[in-house]
Structure 1
Amino acid sequence: MRVHRSGTSLAGAALAALALLLPLTLSGTASAAQDDPGARQVPARGSAYMGMGVIPHDGQGGKPGGISIQATQTEGVDVSSHQGNVDWPRLWNSGVRWAYVKATEGTYYKNTYFTQQYNGSYNVGMIRGTYHFATPDTSTGAAQADYFVNNGGGWSKDGKTLPGALDIEWNPYGAACYGKTQSGMVAWIRDFVNRYKYRTGRDPVIYTATSWWKQCTGNYGGFATANPLWIARYATTVGELPAGWSYYTMWQYTSSGPIVGDHNHFNGDLSRVQALANG
């Protein structure tokens, strides 16, 4: 009988120890899943949008707005299929005067709300353009530039169309730099911008974040002479810019603005927005 009671006590002690260890084991598993991109839930292809990686990688701080180079800033928004049908009259009445609409991603996705968003912004009087979410691991820069131009990313000198924008940022589907070396990423971007200019006659805008640019291009400064900079930073000041650019053209300063989340400052008054549209 004493043996039986001793065995029961040992079994109980073992179960108690296991119960104490189990939360630690699960906690360690959860932590590993957070640190391992392959263990995270990967979004569906085509669902990426401008600024998707800013908060997870750069965070945010302070109230929207802040200090910038020009005293006058012109408010703008960027939208994708996540916004669905946009209330453009309400945005116009709130003071928004320009917009960028996601047109494409990779060579496999077209924004299903493109017509309502692109035509709707134009119809209320906004100056608008389109952007392409880059996936450098799926096809060449030139192939993606062609896909973009062929599916809404073109440009016309009508005073209402901004040059296309290349959204190049953290990879939501895998490794941050899409498996590219820094020199390989620079070559991919150059392939895209050169092809876009060949097709449209315009140098595309480059949208990025300084921390991503440093990590994935080695802080390359060679695009600043031709390509306007659209910088992403959700804070009260724009902070450090990528190498080569001494000023920004546009600044995405928040993802939690009114009506639609992504709000931007254009670095100048409306006449400067018009000047960019006119080339």
Structure 2
Amino acid sequence: MPVRRSSGSRSARPAVRIRRLTVAGALLAACSFLCTTPSSAATTPARGSAHMGMGVLAHDGRAGTPTSDQATQTEGVDVSGYQGNVAWSTLWNSGVRWAYTKATEGTYYTNPYFAQQYNGSYNVGVIRGSYHFATPDTTSGATQANYFVDHGGGWSRDGKTLPGALDIEWNPYGAACYGKSASGMVSWIADFLNTYKARTGRDAVIYTATSWWTQCTGNYGGFAADNPLWIARYASAPGTLPAGWGYYTMWQYTSSGPTVGDHDKFNGALDRVQALANG
């Protein structure tokens, strides 16, 4: 006689399938989370690692070569901790005559290579200055201006020190405009600039890109009368400037220059660089 399977063995099979599907679903969900989390985290840089033009590469161009018909201009560079110890003699011999070094970011970072970069440039004859990478979502403009001045962002009338620069651009750690409205961003910038001038007696330089400025300040034009513009655009010409400024003082034109990547043009001969240093 044929052997009849018990009803218990037949009813066990769906339960086994359900358990297998449940386990498989759990593993799939876990894999989905674990596989996506590291890659998304890797796209966000470590706090403190930001530098001039970091957002320009991602949002506003890749490289620039100024056209030969530009008016008389003076070559410069900007550096940060990313470059480490800089070969200033090599840069001087290549024609670089002015430089900015990152001093601070937010109120949580100071450049560990600041002394070598800031003093090293000065020692070979380069007219130097320092800059602050702004993070308007962490502390107030006044607080960051004070932190900047207290950690290398000062100025002296020695003829070889440029006024401090505010690097205000895309947020590398989150939302492009740091979660601020246009009016809120303008207020934050004004807070920084007013505090910096009260501490040093100088109007700070503003480094920015036109597309970011338009998006995040509503293309505000009220700073142009007092604050020199350092425009970032990796192209053959600076292009359209932010509202209010009829000309630029400095132009960061590439992130792939010789010796250090970030190269700049001062809109004038060396005597104009010296004039800005002297105030």
Band the TM-score falls in, shorter-chain normalisation: 0.7 to 0.9
CA radius of gyration, larger in:
2
Number of aligned residue pairs: 245
- 1:98 is matched with 98
- 2:83 is matched with 83
Instruction: Find the residue that maps to 1:53 and give its secondary structure.
Output: helix
Cα offsets for 1:43-78 (capped at 9, x unmatched): 1100000000001101235x512378x621000000
1:95-134 to 2 correspondence within 5 Å? 95-134=95-134
Cα offsets for 1:75-129 (capped at 9, x unmatched): 0000000000000000000000000000000000000000000010000000000
- 2:173 is matched with 173
- 1:186 is matched with 186
- 2:44 is matched with 42
How far does residue 40 in structure 1 lie from its aligned partner after superposition? Answer: 6.3
- 1:19 is matched with none
**In 1, Cα distance between equivalents of 2:215 and 2:267:** 26
How far does residue 234 in structure 1 lie from its aligned partner after superposition? Answer: 0.2
- 2:208 is matched with 208
- 1:57 is matched with 59
- 2:277 is matched with 277
How large is the Cα RMSD of the aligned pairs? 1.8
Contact 1:67 1:238 (C-alpha < 8 Å) held by counterparts: no
- 2:11 is matched with none
**In 1, Cα distance between equivalents of 2:276 and 2:99:** 13
Contact 1:85 1:116 (C-alpha < 8 Å) held by counterparts: yes
**In 1, Cα distance between equivalents of 2:198 and 2:80:** 26
TM-score, scaled relative to structure 1: 0.85
Q: 1:269 to 1:214 in 2, by over 3 A?
A: same
Cα offsets for 1:174-229 (capped at 9, x unmatched): 00000000000000000000000000000000000000000000000000000000
One-letter amino acid of the structure 1 residue matched with residue 141 of structure 2 = G
- 2:246 is matched with 246
Contact 1:66 1:238 (C-alpha < 8 Å) held by counterparts: no
Q: Runs in 1 of length 4+ with deviation above 6 angstroms? A: none
Structure 2 segments unaligned to the other structure (5+ residues)? 1-31
Q: Determine if the alignment matches structure 1 residue 137 to structure 2 residue 142.
A: no
How far does residue 41 in structure 1 lie from its aligned partner after superposition? Answer: 2.1
- 1:157 is matched with 157
- 1:146 is matched with 146
One-letter amino acid of the structure 2 residue matched with residue 66 of structure 1 = T
